[in-house]
A and B are shown apart, each in its own frame.
Chain A
């Protein structure tokens, strides 16, 4: 293999891992902090992508669309939490079923509004050349964004009053309540925050994949595997699992076929869980 080829392949893998992190982060925050498995996560991603599409078409600026996506999807998150999730706290399976129903409704609703076809968005930032190959600056942008989102999540939970309350409510709900933490409010904000992360994810991947009602499907299985393999510590677990699973999937996909890459991801995930049933960060406390 020539050095430029190695460089391009390595860059491509890093981008894929960054995407996996971006896509899994919101899911991981909501599961880690609230014990809610949000099966509509893929559809929140999808809503983020459609927000970008709509805003870009209306204003001509994709960056404006990317800024609007987290806000719009966070609002949807608040509505979902108030209308459905809050009645189901502590009933993990029921939350899964209800959010699953929600995901079907959202896919179908968006299909009715926007049609089933894939709609393209021009990838911004252009390309640069690596030897005989070319790579896109947008890939770099995705890597930077993955790091930035991790940092923002860390700061929100470690440096804000809300973050402190949310972590307290996660670890000792009764004690937090006794100390005056409004758990209902804290849950609502956490869900909205997770939804905003999903919206951002959708906005970021939209120019790469195109926008389609079933966009969530392509990522959701991998996002779930990442969260499970990651384990209870949200940031550490998600990062480690995304890196590990991403490397395996991409290597196998590159060396064999994407078909086998999917299989490798599944096999590695199941093997890890056989050895470490509570995930890579299993020894650590639940929380950020």
Chain B
């Protein structure tokens, strides 16, 4: 849908920021203060959009990083302004603390392998615990130097944005100057995010959003990418938080409230997630509307955990009208899950005519030219498993399997359902770690290496159910695979073109992968495997769902692959196995049952027994 290509090199958003900078010419100071708040909110919303809309990490924690940085700004500026005569240091401190907090939380979540729903709940719980935590700091013993934390009443008398030098003047910025500073910083952050997303980094984080498993199997350390985005998002939220504290000269624990977190999500949902200007538009629109609504109920005292608190009028507009906010959230989720502004814009825009290239690809596959055949079939052992076991509870899906494969070997694994073939593949590629036993790859032990580390060493897998990026084009899919290996845009483009030829899909290059036929999806995934220039290729049921012609073409493709790398194929289709004419290993009940050529195995009574089920049928009678 919104591949990074959608973040095009467009100049008009910057024109928009420039226009924003001119607004004080027309508006009075009161409106300028208002618009400034919208812009700060837009920055906060941008941080969530980066993390959620682009990287697919749903975080309730942006309010926490925002608030935390606000407190850090408050505490450092109150203490330092007398010495340094400026608050830029305090802004940096806030941003750094927020970014570091996000990074450490992200480390625990992403390196711990916590699921995406848990990420949402953990970030939420952290935010709420900060609410109670900061709320329990009433009293003079809770102070950072001269700055009182102040419990639910918050920290007061926070300096406005101030520039100066330790020895020179101290200039507190005027309302208009503060506003201009925020406009410039927001524009720079916006530009920075746009540029970042246009780099390969942007494509990789959206790839993680679309299909994290595949991205990992391509050799990207998805944990590190997620951590980076999350820390960056935390830092941007923190930047907004420091501006907010400076803007209102005040911060209190209400920034950690559920409602505040909800409002950020609404800004992004209204503006449309995955669009970078959307968060700014959403924040402005929602706050304008809630300002109108809020005028009714402004100034009403409210209570948090037994403390009555009377908000000043400006706060009432920021945290306004929970009833309206809540209803809006429910309605948006039920009716416009992809965002309000995008939904309206979609109505206005004409759908691009669906002139989808549905040309027949029959026979195209033959066109693929052979790639340079590198490895000489030899006796070098590429992979070796020693007595590997994988147990699920009491079931030993793989039971003490020792197998070794040499360079350039083509091997088929066959066996009845549940024999342990796919589990064995998952042990080889690193999705499962073995319960016991060791795995060696080119002499190095890789038993405890993660999937992306094995992928980088040259182990590449096509999964049983095609695992591709449905919303990306064929070309983008291959690009991600090739870039994982090449790490250079030019070489990557060249590799993509080669592989497109190899798998016979050059005419489908710009079609979304989700629209391919089943057989084409299989080829695309094989193509992604090939694009990584692996030394060992694992293909799990490559011909599932293919027509007879497609199967024939796949035989040719797999045999070509066999000339370049060690290839292991799990397959049920015996005619395919026969056509490959490779050595066959038979799995049965988690063990290696037999090994040999197809011809040898055809004359092996025991193999025929287990394959035809005679074994299972007759054993109860024998017993």
Instruction: Give Cα A258 to B105, complex, Å.
Output: 22
Instruction: Tell me whether A228 and B121 are in contact (CB under 8 A).
Output: yes
Instruction: Tell me whether A118 and B306 are in contact (CB under 8 A).
Output: yes
| Residues on A with beta carbons closer than 8 Å to the beta carbon of B306 | 118, 210, 212
| Residues on B with beta carbons closer than 8 Å to the beta carbon of A224 | 121, 124-125, 128
| Residues on B with beta carbons closer than 8 Å to the beta carbon of A273 | 108-109, 112, 114, 118, 122
Instruction: Tell me whether A103 and B121 are in contact (CB under 8 A).
Output: no
| Residues on B with beta carbons closer than 8 Å to the beta carbon of A92 | 117
What's the nearest-Cβ distance from chain B to residue A132, in Å? 28
Instruction: Give Cα A270 to B105, complex, Å.
Output: 8
| Residues on B with beta carbons closer than 8 Å to the beta carbon of A210 | 306
Segment of B39-47, B327-335, B420-428 in the binding face: B327-335
B residues 19-53 in Cβ contact with A at 8 Å: none
Which of B109, B112, B129, B330 is close to A101, meaning CB atoms less than 8 Å apart?
Answer: B330
Q: Give a binary string over B304-320; 1 marks a CB under 8 Å from any A CB, 0 the rest.
A: 11101000000000000
Given contacts A262-B132, A262-B133, contact A101 B262 (CB under 8 A): yes
Q: Give a binary string over B100-121; 1 marks a CB under 8 Å from any A CB, 0 the rest.
A: 0000010011011111011011
Segment of A48-56, A183-191, A213-221 in the binding face: A213-221
Instruction: Give Cα A71 to B545, complex, Å.
Output: 52
| Residues on B with beta carbons closer than 8 Å to the beta carbon of A109 | 323
A225 part of interface (Cβ distance < 8 Å): yes
Instruction: Tell me whether B334 and A259 are in contact (CB under 8 A).
Output: no
Instruction: Tell me whether B122 and A103 are in contact (CB under 8 A).
Output: no
A88 part of interface (Cβ distance < 8 Å): yes
| Residues on B with beta carbons closer than 8 Å to the beta carbon of A257 | 136
B245 part of interface (Cβ distance < 8 Å): no
Inter-chain contact total with CB atoms closer than 8 Å: 146
Instruction: Tell me whether B108 and A225 are in contact (CB under 8 A).
Output: no
Instruction: Tell me whether A107 and B322 are in contact (CB under 8 A).
Output: yes
Instruction: Give Cα A15 to B112, complex, Å.
Output: 32
Instruction: Tell me whether B303 and A117 are in contact (CB under 8 A).
Output: yes
B489 part of interface (Cβ distance < 8 Å): no
Instruction: Give Cα A263 to B117, complex, Å.
Output: 22
Instruction: Tell me whether A228 and B118 are in contact (CB under 8 A).
Output: yes
| Residues on B with beta carbons closer than 8 Å to the beta carbon of A118 | 303, 306
Instruction: Give Cα A263 to B301, complex, Å.
Output: 29
Given contacts A87-B334, A92-B117, A108-B322, contact A220 B128 (CB under 8 A): yes
B496 part of interface (Cβ distance < 8 Å): no
Given contacts A104-B258, A108-B322, contact A217 B303 (CB under 8 A): no
Q: How large is the interface on B (under 10, 10 to 19, 20 to 34, 35 or more residues)?
A: 35 or more
Instruction: Give Cα A104 to B126, complex, Å.
Output: 19
B539 part of interface (Cβ distance < 8 Å): no
A residues 187-245 in Cβ contact with B at 8 Å: 210, 212-214, 217-218, 220-222, 224-225, 227-228
Given contacts A104-B262, A214-B303, A217-B305, contact A97 B128 (CB under 8 A): no
Instruction: Give Cα A218 to B129, complex, Å.
Output: 9
Binding site secondary structure of chain B: helix
| Residues on B with beta carbons closer than 8 Å to the beta carbon of A213 | 303
| Residues on B with beta carbons closer than 8 Å to the beta carbon of A220 | 128
Which of B112, B131, B329 is close to A97, meaning CB atoms less than 8 Å apart?
Answer: B329
Instruction: Tell me whether A104 and B108 are in contact (CB under 8 A).
Output: no
Binding site secondary structure of chain A: helix
Instruction: Tell me whether A104 and B120 are in contact (CB under 8 A).
Output: no
| Residues on A with beta carbons closer than 8 Å to the beta carbon of B265 | 97, 100
Instruction: Give Cα A218 to B301, complex, Å.
Output: 19
Instruction: Give Cα A39 to B117, complex, Å.
Output: 13
B259 part of interface (Cβ distance < 8 Å): yes
Which of A93, A94, A227, A266 is close to B129, meaning CB atoms less than 8 Å apart?
Answer: A266
Instruction: Give Cα A43 to B382, complex, Å.
Output: 59
| Residues on B with beta carbons closer than 8 Å to the beta carbon of A94 | 333, 337
| Residues on A with beta carbons closer than 8 Å to the beta carbon of B129 | 221, 262-263, 265-266
What's the nearest-Cβ distance from chain B to residue A266, in Å? 5
Which of B108, B305, B326 is close to A105, meaning CB atoms less than 8 Å apart?
Answer: B326
B194 part of interface (Cβ distance < 8 Å): no
A131 part of interface (Cβ distance < 8 Å): no
| Residues on A with beta carbons closer than 8 Å to the beta carbon of B346 | none
| Residues on B with beta carbons closer than 8 Å to the beta carbon of A270 | 105, 108, 122
Given contacts A212-B306, A214-B305, contact A104 B322 (CB under 8 A): yes
B589 part of interface (Cβ distance < 8 Å): no
| Residues on A with beta carbons closer than 8 Å to the beta carbon of B126 | 266
| Residues on B with beta carbons closer than 8 Å to the beta carbon of A93 | 58, 117, 120
Measured CB to CB, the nearest residue on chain A to B301 is: A116
A144 part of interface (Cβ distance < 8 Å): no
Given contacts A92-B117, A218-B132, A274-B108, contact A103 B258 (CB under 8 A): yes
B302 part of interface (Cβ distance < 8 Å): yes
Measured CB to CB, the nearest residue on chain A to B105 is: A270
| Residues on B with beta carbons closer than 8 Å to the beta carbon of A97 | 265, 269, 329, 332-333
| Residues on A with beta carbons closer than 8 Å to the beta carbon of B109 | 273
Instruction: Give Cα A108 to B257, complex, Å.
Output: 14
Instruction: Tell me whether A217 and B333 are in contact (CB under 8 A).
Output: no
| Residues on A with beta carbons closer than 8 Å to the beta carbon of B58 | 93, 96
Interface residues of B, Cβ cutoff 8 Å to A: 58, 105, 108-109, 111-115, 117-118, 120-122, 124-126, 128-129, 131-133, 136-137, 257-259, 262, 265, 269, 301-306, 308, 322-323, 325-330, 332-334, 337, 393
Across chains A and B, which 3 residue pairs bring their CB atoms closest together, nearest first?
A: A101-B329, A104-B326, A221-B128
Given A84-B334, A103-B326, A221-B124, 16 additional A-B pairs, CB 8 A: A93-B117, A96-B120, A97-B265, A101-B262, A101-B327, A101-B333, A105-B323, A105-B330, A108-B323, A116-B302, A117-B308, A224-B121, A262-B133, A271-B108, A275-B112, A277-B114
15 A–B pairs (Cβ distance < 8 Å), ordered by A = A91-B337, A96-B58, A97-B269, A104-B326, A111-B302, A116-B301, A116-B308, A217-B258, A228-B122, A259-B136, A262-B133, A269-B122, A273-B112, A277-B114, A283-B393
